[in-house]
Amino acid sequence: MTQLAETGFDALRAALEGLALRPGEDGYDEARRLWNAEHDRHPAVIVRPRSAADVQAAVRYAVAEGLEVAVRGGAHSMAGLSSVDDGLMIDLSLLNQVSVDPEARRARAAGGAQLGDLDAATQEYGLAVPAGIVSHTGVGGLTLGGGMGLLTRLHGLSIDNLESVQIVTADGSLRRAAADENADLFWAVRGGGGNFGVVTEFEFRLHPAGPIVNYGIAFWGAEQGGELFRAAREVIPALPREVNVMIACLNAPPAPFVPEEHHFKLGYALVVVGFGPPEQHAEAMERLRSTMPPLFEFSTPMPYVAVQQLLDEPNAWGAYHYEKGTYLEALTDEAIDVIMEHFPRKTSPLSVSLFYHLDHGYLETADDATAFSGQRSERYAMFVIATTPVLEALEAERTWVRTFWDALRPHMVNIGSYVNGMAEPDAARIQAAYGDKYAKLLEIKRKYDPDNVFRRNQNIRP
């Protein structure tokens, strides 16, 4: 850094309640580490704020020194956008507090909280907010893009349950954005990603859920896949909204409930989570089972927080990842044929493809009410995710994902997809994802971040 930056850094460090780190200092290497091991970034400065004022100071410093800004919440950005070479990383991990008002059914989550923090705090009162399915994901990145998970069928997306945010914008101001204050900014952060500032607090509406839910998984072999998908497309939409079913293309895990002869077998699973009475879940499992007997199944009551952690280990830090997502309006015979042809071509047993059926709660927020990158019509959200423990195997898996995705293009709603599922957020796909909302997002971006300070994201370029 220049002498001016050196002087500014000393002043920044002195002003912070939290930490400011440079290369070589204690804690620097741990703070710069990202979940996706493919990305090895070296920021010039890392700020670990303990307050919103610290975030303001970091943003002002970065702007003054001309440093590119990256924001690290859970560090799960598939594209490695949570950090930056030679710029300033704002690592929010010390801002992870969650407070709950059970009477008002509201939760306030600081900007660096993880889903596990949010689930643990809200489940003390038998409450929850729709969120993702890996508990070490950051609340911030997930929510700003939309946020879908096991409760989406019942209560919509994370952003559909967002009441307000506290956000530091590019000029260093701390603003409240809600329906009654900075309403344009509130519209934009509900789906517009990290384009508009650093959110230091999220306020969510909560819903009764758990603490015990009903969990089930049934698995079919590779040769049964086409038949299973055709059965699932009939059964899943007819199930009660309290029953969420995720379709997973995967290798059977070496779990205790999986017969040993099926360990690592390529196939297809239905993951069934029931938030209603046990009888309702049992009936749903029976309907799915009766369409075609699975190779094995497992069903049990389970704490909601435990269900939310089931995918933590397969998605542990230190592996190499790549992802492309899309929306399918329907599981047509032609789309199923593509899935059956391309999914088995993967080479890593950790790579998967996941399908959410979006209906009920997802449809109950008007399409133009938020900036979310997906029209509010019934559809499937599909994610093709490459994961490998070694870098040498990543390129083959990346090619598999891209080829699979390209083959599905004739069956997609559009090429844009859900912005949280873009490992390569190129401008054309981003604009296609937002469609008619893009012009409004561009106008709001120009208002709050005309110099594109916050550009390490699915960027809306002013």
CATH of the domain at 232: 3.40.462.20
Q: What CATH code is carried by the domain that includes residue 164?
A: 3.30.465.10
Cα–Cα distance between 419 and 406 in angstroms, integer? Answer: 17
**H-assigned helices in 324-426:** 333-342, 394-408
How many domains does the structure of the chain reveal? 3
Looking at the fold, whether 288 and 394 belong to one and the same domain comes out as yes
Could you tell me the CA-to-CA distances from 70 to 45, 56, 170 in Å, in that order? Answer: 11, 14, 12
We report the CATH number of the domain holding residue 40 as 3.30.43.10
Global pTM? Answer: 0.95
In a domain, 450, yes or no: no
Residue 67 pLDDT grade (very low, low, confident, very high; cuts 50, 70, 90): very high
pLDDT digits (tens, 9 = 90+) for 355-365: 999 999 999 99
* C-alpha distance from residue 424 to each of 31, 121, 415, 421, 458 (Å): 24, 34, 12, 9, 9
pLDDT in tens, 226-247: 999 999 999 999 999 999 999 9
For residue 440, is it within any domain? Answer: no
Q: 6-51: per-residue pLDDT in tens?
A: 668 999 999 999 999 999 999 999 999 999 999 999 999 999 999 9
* HSE-up (13 A, CA, CB side) for residue 93: 18
pLDDT, tens digit, 9 for 90 and up, residues 300-356 = 999 999 999 999 999 999 999 999 999 999 999 999 999 999 999 999 999 999 999
385, part of any domain: yes
Structure tokens at 191: 């789906």
Query: In Å, how far from its chain's centre is CA 192?
Result: 13
Angle between helices 3-15 and 52-65 (to 10 degrees): 170
Task: Give tens-digit pLDDT for 172-181.
Answer: 999 999 999 9
Distance CA 16, CA 21 (A): 11
Residue at 305: amino acid letter: V
Q: Are residues 188 and 329 in the same domain?
A: no
Residue 291 located in a structural domain:
yes
What range defines the domain where residue 134 resides? 98-209
Q: Is residue 119 part of a domain?
A: yes
Q: Are residues 250 and 154 in the same domain?
A: no
